[in-house]
């Protein structure tokens, strides 16, 4: 079948779906179908700011509220403009550099500039 992936254990292409798993007929290795679907969903995830606009790598954003940095006495002030953001996976979707350092921020506290 063209939709079944090759076995990650022996690299043979003699695999078939069985319930929620793929099974290799050559070596008997089983692995979940959900894992490959989750990887595809993560790459196509859309990150939106607090107003619902789609963010992309290299965008400039503005903080919409004061953010205290955990484990530090630093507070990122509301209205601070951040240039050249980078989108990453996880619950903190935005990676950026500011004068105070490098931070991972949640997109819900940002507005596209």
Residue 1 confidence class, pLDDT cut points 50, 70, 90: very low
- pLDDT tens digits along 12-35: 888 988 888 889 888 888 888 875
Mean of per-residue pLDDT scores for the chain: 87
Largest CA distance in the chain: 60
- Domains of the chain, start order: 1-44 (2.20.25.10), 61-112 (2.30.30.40)
How many CB atoms neighbour CB 57 within 10 A?
A: 12
Residue at token pair 């490959």: 36
- pLDDT tens digits along 81-101: 999 999 998 889 999 999 989
Instruction: Provide the whole-model pTM.
Output: 0.61
Q: What pLDDT is attached to residue 81?
A: 95
């Amino acid at each position: 079948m063209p939709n079944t992936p090759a076995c990650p254990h022996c690299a043979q292409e003699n695999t078939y779906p069985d319930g929620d798993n793929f099974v290799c007929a050559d070596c008997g290795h089983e692995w979940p179908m959900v894992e490959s679907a989750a990887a595809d969903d993560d790459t196509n995830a859309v990150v939106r700011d607090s107003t619902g606009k789609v963010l992309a790598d290299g965008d400039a954003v503005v903080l919409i509220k004061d953010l205290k940095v955990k484990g530090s006495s630093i507070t990122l002030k509301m209205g601070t403009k951040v240039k050249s953001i980078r989108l990453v996976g996880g619950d903190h979707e935005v990676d950026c550099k500011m004068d105070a350092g490098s931070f991972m921020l949640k997109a819900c506290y940002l507005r596209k500039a």
